[in-house]
Amino acid sequence: MKNIKENKFNKFSDADSVGIVKTNYFSFANPPDELILFSGIKFGPITVAYETYGTLNKDKSNAILIFHALSGDAHAAGYNSPDDNKPGWWDIMIGPGKPFDTSKYFVICSNIIGGCKGSTGPSSINPKTGKPYGLSFPVIFIKDMIIPPKKLLDYLGINKLFCAAGGSIGGMQLLQWLVTYPELTEGAMIIATSPTHTAQAIAFNSVGRYAIIKDPNWNNGNYYGGEKPDEGLSIARMIGHITYLSEESMHQKFGRKVINEKSPQTGIVDFTKEFEVENYLQYQGESFIKRFDANSYLYITKAIDDFDITDGFENLSDALKDIKAKCFVISFTSDWLYPKEQLMKIVKALKINGIETTYTNFESHYGHDAFLIDDKRLKKLFAGFLKSLEEQI
């Protein structure tokens, strides 16, 4: 036991870890000054959970804003307590000497509105009723998700970002951020995302939502305090998780490995746990329900599906025309959820507008989740782009 404790201590005292970090909270849109959402609905108060790493410099010019993906949260790096088994979700990229080098930069990550990790979402208590919002929580769009981080920057006194980065739905928020606040950001890292959500991607999300809604415990979103729609949410996660991997990475990890042999004598077959890959997915589903709220999953996936950056514009290049940031776009060769064609559309639109753009279709067999994998070459790429931003400024 003593040894384990010591090991854990070593992790967060590592020279390249941000160490023990605290989640902070910030509130805005207090009635009667509620936020008018994209839908037109007035909503407030809104709490934003956020973490920061590194030190904001004197002229407040070294801030980097990170947008997290669907199941991410404000806890992007380091450890919230010495007992944590795992560091924040992008710890491989954030820390002293890492690409988002906290000895130079001030890194900010906030939990999205509609989420369940400290920011206001369907599981939060509605101050008017004293009960969780549930389905009375308003519909949220990606356009709404970027407002709380903007308010947070205002609150922190930051009016220029050195860089902003986001992968997957984080990349959608980043695109929206760049379109809504074109002057605010010097450099943008647009990772494994899509300018509009495709029919195939909507289809996967839809099946996930269906699994939740068909769970008898879901009860129209009124399950707080009672039995939760764990079955539905874990199935949704299992489906989602498949889309984050690739055929090759699943083959390498599991192949056709069998963990429970069929019994020819008795004829008994385990329909859910014969192959190792089945066991793995179930594990993913079961661990997800402990940390995620089913209603948040519904609201966030809906916002993703509704995302189309060209809404209200003639086309993609028209939508991106005002962007001032130098852009780094990256796709992954084995990502079939947001394949390179989607990212190349963004690159094309940026080029048409004469916006300084860097792009690579990065060779990786890890599928959509490749940006979360500790890969030396990927880290060098990130560091190289940030270096080019420094030289430019």
By the rule CB under 8 A, 315 interacts with another protein: no
Residue whose C-alpha is closest to residue 173's, from 251, 119, 239: 119
Q: Which is nearer to another protein, 68 or 345 (CB)?
A: 345
Residue recorded with tokens 């004469």: 354
The H or E element spanning position 126 is strand 125-126
Q: What are phi and psi of 352, to 5 degrees?
A: -55, -35
Q: Is 137 in the site for another protein (CB under 8 A)?
A: no
Q: Return d(Cα 272, Cα 283) in angstroms, integer.
A: 12
The residue range among 32-40, 100-108, 302-310, 359-367 that interacts with another protein, by the rule CB under 8 A, is: 359-367
Q: Check residue 177 for interaction with another protein (CB under 8 A).
A: no
* Span from 158-166, 229-237, 352-360, 366-374 in contact with another protein (CB under 8 A): 352-360
Q: Which one, 296 or 342, has the nearer CB to another protein? A: 342
Residue 366 lies near another protein (rule: CB under 8 A): no
Residue with smaller CB distance to another protein, 277 or 378? 378
Structure tokens at 246: 């690739």
Q: Per the structure block, which two tokens stand in for 140?
A: 């949220």
Q: Which tokens sit at 355?
A: 């916006």
Is residue 279 a contact residue for another protein (CB under 8 A)? no
Residue 360 makes contact with another protein by CB under 8 A: yes
Angle between helices 169-180 and 147-156 (to 10 degrees): 70
Piece of 78-86, 105-113, 220-228, 344-352 that binds another protein (CB under 8 A): 344-352
Closest Cα partner for 345 from 203, 190, 174? 190
Placement of tokens 């769009």 in the chain: 141
Burial of 371 from C-beta contacts in 10 A (0-12 / 13-18 / 19+): buried
Name the residue nearer to another protein (CB basis): 68 or 326.
326
Q: Is 362 in the site for another protein (CB under 8 A)?
A: yes
- Amino acid 86 reads K
Instruction: Give the residue with the Cβ less far from another protein, 243 or 357.
Output: 357
The residues carrying an active-site annotation are 168, 335, 368
Task: Give the footprint of another protein on this chain (CB under 8 A).
Answer: 326, 328, 333, 347-348, 351-354, 356-363, 377, 380-381, 383-385, 387-388, 391
